[in-house]
Amino acid sequence: MPNTKNSETINLALDLISRSSVTPDDKGCQKLMTERLETIGFTIENMRFADVDNFWARRGTTGPLLAFAGHTDVVPTGPVGKWKIDPFKPEIIDGNLYGRGAADMKGSLAAMTTACERFIDQHPDHKGSIAFLITSDEEGPSINGTVKVVEQLEKRNEKIDWCLVGEPSSTDKLGDVVKNGRRGSLSGTLTINGKQGHVAYPHLAENPIHTAAPAIAELTAIQWDNGNEFFPPTTFQISNIHAGTGANNVIPGELQILFNLRFSTEVTETELRNRIEAIFNKHQLEYELEWSLSGNPFLTPEGELVDAVCKSIKETCGYDTQLSTAGGTSDGRFIAPTGAQVVELGPLNATIHQINEHVLAEDLNTLSDIYLGIMKHLLL
């Protein structure tokens, strides 16, 4: 727990991690942050939608606007007995800070907060504005979180110019990789109808597994695009197949398939949907298909924010960073469409969502330094 020997960043991270804020429960994390931000001149707007707590905090009224974005919620711990520690009683062991959310992403939240405290102490009359957009619904449905806050900002034409998302982006060492974009994510729930019957009398039934097999084979063999200099090629993956009653002498009457596409900027959601539905129609399947778009791909090319991030990492860590669009989705997908430049920069992602999630404690101090340097490049 917090002690005077630790830095402000480490103590804040320990305090945040000690709160069992499994989605969508915030458990007071946001109050902890807003009290500190209010002390340094931020105006706080608490925005609760359904069972999700969010807040928008802003210091300044003019542009340009630099926003820090992140989430206080964490995924469930899994079997607590398999952890080295109680996952909500964080400890530093051999220099590593253990606890659920240490990497994803309470460590980043602590670093953002202390970086702002130092920056404002050093430069109280900085240009432009600084903001925080924080949710407790990133690890869950993402329906009443960042997307709703962005909708409110758009209604009043409050525009973010630059957005730093604290997602754990690093691979082997802090700052070696930052995300300047993400692939789109399109999911489908496919139900193929057949006719249930006895396996000994197949002429009296219709097996939807058999009728669907050629279409499935065709879909898995498609090369959807070649990607581009920023994105790898689009991928199609079946994540679940279910059919049957559990008996080996019954032909199933229905087949359900769950699939997902992670797609580049070379294709659109509409093109993917049309192409897939055309294959099912060609094979004359009797089917129902429900689509779910988690987010379109976005990209922040080299410019003010990317340059500031790269410079600060080089100045703080002594090495160059790599720009990447790999990985899953993040709340950046809700912010980028407003026209904001978005970059994700946070700790190592090697243990996120795992048993014994941890980060190097010193990395959080360094991350605060990097965030501080970014503010200096953009707001001085």
Q: What are the residue numbers of the active site?
A: 73, 138
Per-residue 3-state assignment (H helix, E strand, C coil) for the chain: CCCCCCCHHHHHHHHHHCCCCECCCCCCHHHHHHHHHHHCCCEEEEEEECCEEEEEEEECCCCCEEEEEEECCECCCCCHHHCCCCCCCCEEECCEEECCCHHHHHHHHHHHHHHHHHHHHHCCCCCCEEEEEEECCCCCCCCCCHHHHHHHHHHCCCCCCEEEECCCCECCCCCCEEECEECEEEEEEEEEECECEECCCHHHCECHHHHHHHHHHHHHHCCCCCCCCCCCCCEEEEEEEEECCCCCCEECCEEEEEEEEEECCCCCHHHHHHHHHHHHHHCCCCEEEEEEEEECCEECCCCHHHHHHHHHHHHHHCCCCEEECCCCCCCHHHHHHHCCEEEECCCECCCCCCCCCEEEHHHHHHHHHHHHHHHHHHHC
Q: How far is the C-alpha of 273 from the C-alpha of 289, rounded, in Å? A: 10
Q: How far is the C-alpha of 310 from the C-alpha of 175, rounded, in Å? A: 9
Largest CA distance in the chain: 82
Residue 316 has φ and ψ, to the nearest 5°, of -85, -40
